[in-house]
Amino acid sequence: MSGTIIFTKEVFWRGVRRSAPLAAGLAPFGFVTGLITERHGLSLADCALMNGLVYAGSGELVALANWMHPAPILAAAFGAFVVNLRFALMGPVLAPWLTGLRPIWRYLSLTILVDHAWAISVTDMRKGGRDVALYVGLSVPLWFGWMAAAMAGFLSAKGLALPPDHPLFFGALAAFVALLVPLWRGRADLLPWLTAAGVAVAVARLLPHSSWYIPAGAICGCLTGALMEKPRG
Amino acid sequence: MGDQLSILLAIAAMAAVTIACRCGGYFLFARVEPSPLVRRALAYLPGCIFAAYVVPALIAGPPGNWIGAAATMLTMWRTRNLGVSIAAGVACGWGARVWL
């Protein structure tokens, strides 16, 4: 990618506007996370702290699934680690853009890294985009939207009748599915993606109730792609 | 240990771990020169992570979600509009659940 990285207000606001459907897709997920937090006996302040500082729904749900009193500090941390390990791999992919920010803003931007905003940023980066404001504009509103949804879910817990398998909750998964489309770069992605999915399914079966299947599948898929590219001889 | 204190410590531990993941990956990458293989592999990461997350989730969910997923991808392919695609997927998944 050529050219220096810029940060413009126009693209920041473009990111903010484009974050709206992402926030809508995440809202049911955040809502159910807040709701489950209340069901496990945590306080409103606990809910705010967890969703504000951890800000990773799948990691939180994994920890909450096995919550106890007193709280399982190590198990919760380990659960969060396994699920959120993918962020450690995602940050480097955005490195070309992140170098356009001063270190303090770079790492602050990383703390609010989430999958959808990352996927859209990567897609733009691949097309030659050089404006890191897109990533920031996408990511900041998502944090606020998530917090609002989680708090709403917490406060609604006592009065609500939505079953946990309500069709509306598919919105969160649908967002991931939709983002696969712009991420597709052509035939070269087919075998890596199939490998990633296949390994993920197998590992999920071998190690149920954990999230190792995500990094396992992703790494196998990536290696498949990289090795297939290797020139002969 | 008091329950409230243990809750705060658990949240702090989860936050520390997650921030370490989000920032640590980039931090290491910026200091350790990745091999050509690693760099090639990272280029495949976006699609592979999403595929690794989506397929097991679809398998674990109700069959109607597959229809919802197909509707989502078709709509996204045609419209390139994320909001419309999510809505189409949720609607079709819901419909499939009710009528099939």
Q: What is the ipTM of this complex?
A: 0.84
Give me the number of domains chain B comprises. Answer: 1
Question: For residue B76, is it within any domain?
Answer: yes
CB B48 to CB A196 under 8 A?
yes
Question: For residue A169, is it within any domain?
Answer: yes
Q: Which of B10, B52, B82 sits opposite A217 (nearest CB)?
A: B52
Searching chain B, which residue's CA lies closest to the CA of residue A204?
B56
Question: For residue B75, is it within any domain?
Answer: yes
Stretch (H or E) spanning A125: helix A115-126
Question: For residue A71, is it within any domain?
Answer: yes
- The last residue of one of the domains, among A179, A194, A219, is A179
Q: Which domain holds residue B71?
A: 53-100
- Residue A75 Cα, gap to closest chain B Cα (Å): 9
- Under a CB-based contact definition with an 8 Å cutoff, are residues A60 and A33 in contact? yes
Question: For residue A103, is it within any domain?
Answer: yes
Question: For residue B89, is it within any domain?
Answer: yes
Searching chain A, which residue's CA lies closest to the CA of residue B67?
A174
B1: chain A residues, CB-CB within 8 Å: 70
Interatomic CA distance for residues B53 and B58, integer angstroms: 9
Q: What is the pLDDT of residues A28-79, one digit of tens each?
A: 788 878 888 888 889 999 999 999 999 998 888 878 877 888 888 888 898 8
Question: For residue A1, is it within any domain?
Answer: no
B22: chain A residues, CB-CB within 8 Å: 84, 87-88, 91, 110-111, 113
Q: What does the block give as tokens for B35?
A: 């091999």
CB B49 to CB A193 under 8 A?
no
Q: What is the pLDDT of residues B32-80, one digit of tens each?
A: 888 889 889 988 988 898 899 899 999 999 999 999 999 999 999 999 8
| pLDDT, chain A, mean | 89
pLDDT, residue B81, reads 83
Examine the domain organization and report whether A118 and A193 are in the same domain.
no
Q: Which domain holds residue A224?
A: 184-233
Examine the domain organization and report whether A124 and A198 are in the same domain.
no
A72: phi then psi, degrees, rounded to nearest 5: -80, 85
Examine the domain organization and report whether A87 and A153 are in the same domain.
yes
Examine the domain organization and report whether A149 and A125 are in the same domain.
yes
A200: chain B residues, CB-CB within 8 Å: 51-53, 55-56
Q: What does the block give as tokens for B88?
A: 């189409």
Examine the domain organization and report whether A87 and A199 are in the same domain.
no
Examine the domain organization and report whether A27 and A124 are in the same domain.
yes
**Closest by CA position to A53, among listed B47, B75, B12, B1:** B12
The owner of tokens 């809505």 is B87
Stretch (H or E) spanning A229: helix A213-229
Searching chain B, which residue's CA lies closest to the CA of residue A43?
B4
Question: For residue B5, is it within any domain?
Answer: no
Q: What does the block give as tokens for A29?
A: 């997920």
Question: For residue A22, is it within any domain?
Answer: yes
Question: For residue B79, is it within any domain?
Answer: yes
Examine the domain organization and report whether A37 and A147 are in the same domain.
yes
Give me the number of domains chain A comprises. Answer: 2
pLDDT, residue B33, reads 83
Question: For residue B77, is it within any domain?
Answer: yes
CB A21 to CB B80 under 8 A?
no
CB A110 to CB B23 under 8 A?
yes
Q: State the SS3 of chain B.
A: CCHHHHHHHHHHHHHHHHHHHHHHHHHHHHHCCCCHHHHHHHHCHHHHHHHHHHHHHHHHCCCHHHHHHHHHHHHHHHHCCHHHHHHHHHHHHHHHHHHC
Q: What is the pLDDT of residues A70-124, one digit of tens each?
A: 888 888 898 888 778 889 989 999 999 999 899 999 999 999 999 889 999 999 9
Question: For residue B61, is it within any domain?
Answer: yes
CB B10 to CB A118 under 8 A?
no
Q: Which of B19, B57, B68 sits opposite A111 (nearest CB)?
A: B19
Model pTM? 0.79
Question: For residue B81, is it within any domain?
Answer: yes
Q: What is the pLDDT of residues A122-141, one digit of tens each?
A: 999 999 999 999 999 999 99
